[in-house]
Amino acid sequence: MSRSSQGRRPATLPVMCLVGPPNVGKSTLFNALTGARATMGNWPGTTVEVARGTWRLGDGASATLVDLPGAYSLDAASPDEQLTAELVADPDSDDAPDLTIVAVDAAHLSRSLYLVAQLRELPRRLVVAVTMPDVAHRRGLAVRPAALAGHLGVPVVEIDPRHRTGLAELAQTVTAAAADPVPPARTPVAGIAEADDERFAWIAAAVAAGTASDGQVQTRWSDRVDRVVLAPVLGPLVFLAVMWGVFQLTTAVAVPLQDLLGDFFAGPVSQGVAWGLGGLGLGGTWVQGLLVDGVIGGVGMLLSFTPLLAIMFALLALLEDSGYLARAAVLTDRVMGLLGLPGRAFLPLVVGFGCNVPAIAATRTLATPRQRLVTVMLIPFTACSARLTVFVMLGTVFFGRWAGTAVFVMYVASIILVVVAGLVWRSALWRTLPDEPLVIDLPPYQVPTLRLTGAVAWTRLRGFLQTASGIIVAAVILVWLVQAIPVTGGTFGHVEVEDSLYAWLARGVAPLFAPAGFGSWQTVSALVVGFVAKEAVISSWGQTYAIDNPGNIAALGDHIQAAFAASSGGHPLAAVAAFMVYLLAYTPCVATLAAQSREIGWRWTGVGILVQLATASAMAILVFQVGRLIV
């Protein structure tokens, strides 16, 4: 960032920061302003991740907009809040923004304005963006931006980023404010207690001047809903029922689409590439084997799961946009307390069900190093979306129309595993982790918008596709190369997979998994490849089995069923259940390990790997040995 001197008019609008308390619509506003021009990355010199994007202000002007971590005040209680406080509060910093936009909730102005009060005591260019006016209206409140601006001493704009209203006015206001001199700071009162008393009085006066009753108080039906979804017993049951519906709907809708996409890769794509290579004189060579059997057979099989993830991400985005998922943090507050963790530790764990890597980054919102360490050690036990693809495939192959229920059971097992592991970590390491009450603003229930839901789902799906186009392609090529090296016969690129170095290495490891019922080399080799990325389990199977018809999910399923039936002694359901449990609990992907090492160091990461492998092995053996007596 470039720093603007006090009172100097900047010649350009290089950088603006967006700040505000959690759950005031700040991220929604950022997405509305930047659209597809946003990127995520660590702030230079820190491990805190922030979002950056280009904001088109109109008339050819643009600015870099930075979405800083949410903060209630400048009194930081975690590393991410510390970054926000340092960047917006230090006027002498070279990273200080040219202008700061503070998002505040129209329905809870008193809480939101404390950050504004602190910033007004500093020489900063500010614009206040009042969000959620529709929620305030339902509560009988109306914000008067001009009157509020007169009291705050900075411009105020009322916006609704969900419905994209007020954005043009915000751009005009920001452009004008950035060209004006820095407004004079409010004179702070000496002494901490006196300063807070004065701030609260100033905030109360601002709320009184800037709001009015519109006489349209509507029934607070949300309070009645919360009495059900937040109830100690009924609330968790409702949450489990909702998540079961999500998984069941995902598998029911996605499977036919998966078949169509699989046939596309198995037919036109594979045949087209083979025809093209034949025209170049490369037909039947190792090049065709690499591209058709390797890349298309592996990556194509994985990409056939794109509809599944798209539907899952869209459904979760609907629940998030509606305001329901935030209630889950309240439901789990008591459980988090048993683990010695604050209620907001649940939020990184929820993120972990999408991807473990950003979940680990999200632990920076926790106040103490011990809380962050325990949470980072628990996140690998959450069933990420990469594991979801494998669970759905196995559920579809072995459990048919009950596939959604099978996947749901794995997610319940993941939750139980997190709780049990947390209790063990606490009892083994820190019996005296400090209890911290949960303080969270519950967002209002809202009707989800198609634009926002689609944007969130696409962002998450794009991350999956980027993985498939990067590390998965590398893993697929490596697997093909090892499968192309003969051990007992053939030549490079022309060898049966059973006679390859790949199979030879896997056979050496496979006996270790015989007590768990999946000691076949084909199954064990997929787990080894899954260490790179869990999605690669499917691509590995695609390369190992569907050699003559890459992308054919049905043919792949037949091979997998036969392998589990043979390795389990006729108890395939018990064996596949053990395999799914092992996949849930064993070492996460290399990207997650790298993220862990950045946060907690390699020593603790190594301890975590040992614990995960031991846990996965013990659970898999127990599930199979008990399961084969039942099924």
Residue ranges covered by each domain of the chain: 15-213, 234-630
- The two tokens of residue 81 are 């809040």
Residue 517: predicted pLDDT: 93
Given a contact cutoff of 8 angstroms between Cβ atoms, the answer to whether 599 and 541 are in contact is no
566 pLDDT band, cuts 50/70/90, is: very high
Q: What is the pLDDT of residues 476-532, one digit of tens each?
A: 778 778 878 888 777 776 778 788 888 898 899 999 999 999 999 989 998 988 887
The residue that leads in pLDDT, 614 or 63, is 614
Residue 479, pLDDT score: 78
pLDDT at 68: 86
| DSSP annotation of 490 | S
User: pTM for the full model?
Assistant: 0.68
pLDDT tier for residue 439 given thresholds of 50, 70 and 90? low
29-57 confidence digits (pLDDT tens): 888 888 755 555 555 545 566 788 888 88
pLDDT, residue 301, reads 64
Least confident of 115-129, 139-153, 239-253: 239-253
The mean pLDDT value of the chain amounts to 79
Chain centre to alpha carbon of residue 36: 18
Q: What is the pLDDT of residue 578?
A: 95
Reported confidence tier of residue 550, pLDDT bands at 50, 70, 90: very low
The residue-averaged pLDDT of 589-608 equals 86
Most confident residue range from 235-249, 250-264, 300-314, 428-442: 235-249
Alpha helices in 546-631 (DSSP H): 553-567, 572-585, 590-630
In sequence order, what are the beta bridge partners of 128?
A: 102, 156
Look at strands 49-58 and 61-67 and give their pairing. Answer: antiparallel
Q: Is the CB of residue 63 less than 8 Å from the CB of residue 34?
A: no
Per-residue confidence (pLDDT) for residue 374, from 0 to 100: 86
Q: How many CB atoms lie within 10 A of CB 330?
A: 17
Q: Which CATH number fits domain 15-213: 3.40.50.300, 3.30.70.260, 3.30.300.30, 3.30.1330.10?
A: 3.40.50.300
Structural element, H or E, at residue 513: none
Q: What is the pLDDT of residue 612?
A: 93
pLDDT digits (tens, 9 = 90+) for 204-223: 888 888 888 765 544 466 77
Let me know: does 108 contact 183? Beta carbons within 8 Å. Answer: no
How far is it, in rounded angstroms, from Cα 570 to Cα 568? Answer: 5
Please enumerate in sequence order all residues whose Cβ is within 8 A of that of 387, keeping only pairs 6 or more positions apart, or say none.
Answer: 410, 534, 583, 584
d(C-alpha 260, C-alpha 267), whole Å: 10
Closest C-alpha among 28, 54, 202, 2 to residue 129: 28
Nearest to 619 by CA among 480, 311, 336, 413: 413
More confident residue, 5 or 495: 495
Q: In this predicted structure, what is the pLDDT of residue 312?
A: 78
Of 190 and 325, the structure prediction assigns the larger pLDDT to 325
Q: Answer whether residue 113 shows pLDDT above 80.
A: yes
Contacts of 560 (CB under 8 A, 6+ apart): 394, 397, 523, 541, 545
In the block, residue with structure tokens 């200080």: 96
**Count, residues in the chain:** 631
Please give the average per-residue pLDDT across 312-326, as a whole number: 80
What mean pLDDT comes out for the span 599-628? 92
Q: Pairing relation of β-strands 38-42 and 49-58? A: antiparallel
Per-residue pLDDT tens digits for 87-108: 887 766 666 788 899 999 888 8
Residue reference for tokens 């499977």 = 255
C-alpha 57: how far from chain center: 29
Calculated CA dihedral for residues 75, 77, 78, 84, nearest 10 degrees = -10
- Residue 315 token pair: 């459904």
Nearest CA to 85 among 73, 97, 98? 73
The encoded tokens of residue 607 equal 């301890």
Mean pLDDT of the 288-317 span: 72
| Burial state string for 376-403 with b = 16 or more CB within 10 A and e = fewer than 16 | bbbbbbbbbbbbbbbbbbbbbbbbeeeb
Tokens of 186: 């409010």
599 confidence band (pLDDT: 50, 70, 90) = confident
**434 pLDDT exceeds 90?**
no
Yes or no: say if 66 and 52 are a contact pair by the CB < 8 Å rule. yes
For 255, the 3-state DSSP assignment is helix
* Confidence at 622, pLDDT banded by 50, 70, 90: very high
Indicate the burial class of 183 (C-beta count within 10 angstroms; 0-12, 13-18, 19 or more).
Answer: middle
Residue 333 has a CB neighbour count (10 Å cut-off) of 18
Rounded distance between C-alpha atoms, residue 103 and residue 126, angstroms: 11
- The top-scoring range by mean pLDDT among 331-345, 360-374, 577-591 is 577-591
* pLDDT at residue 189, rounded to an integer: 59
Residues 292, 542 contacting (CB under 8 angstroms): no
pLDDT score, position 625? 94
Residue 610 pLDDT > 90, yes or no? yes
